[in-house]
Amino acid sequence: MTPKERAEKSAAAMWEGDKASQWLGCRIVEVDEGRAVLTLTVEDHHCNGHGICHGGFTFTLADSAFAFACNSRNQVTVAQHNLISYLAPGKQGDILTATAREVSLQGRSGIYDITVTNQTGKVMAEFRGFSRTINGQLFEE
């Protein structure tokens, strides 16, 4: 199995049980080893009292991309901690894209950077995720 095939199979196994990302409206665009791209169209129910995309939804989109990237090797991996910087507000109708890439993987610990952009390529947020691999696989190999 190639690394990309493993990443795609891992993503399919995770997606099946990922009711949070599905409920939010996320879509997986691409996965590969240490990489994932997810999108979300900002709808009315994603907007806060200021009429902009609630930061928690932007965070969740980035966190989901992080999860698919760090689980791409078929090893159950969870977040140790994350941080986000919001750079511009998303608006209703925007298509947000979270692109996750692996920065470092040393033993059981990984670092991932996730950039959230809108449909024009404007950077909306920068997220850094720190992962920890635990016991288990997403599917039997």
How far apart (Å, rounded) are the C-alpha atoms in residues 73 and 94? Answer: 31
Q: Count of CB atoms within 10 A of residue 100's CB?
A: 28
Residues of the chain with pLDDT under 50: none
pTM attached to this predicted model: 0.95
3-class state of residue 12 by DSSP: helix
pLDDT for res 108: 96
Q: Which domains does the chain have, with CATH numbers?
A: 3-133 (3.10.129.10)
How far apart (Å, rounded) are the C-alpha atoms in residues 37 and 49? Answer: 28
pLDDT for res 24: 94
CB 5 within 8 A of CB 134: no
* Percent of all residues in the chain with a pLDDT value above 70, rounded to a whole number: 100
- DSSP bridge pairs for 96: 40
pLDDT for res 83: 97
Lookup: tokens for 21: 């990302």
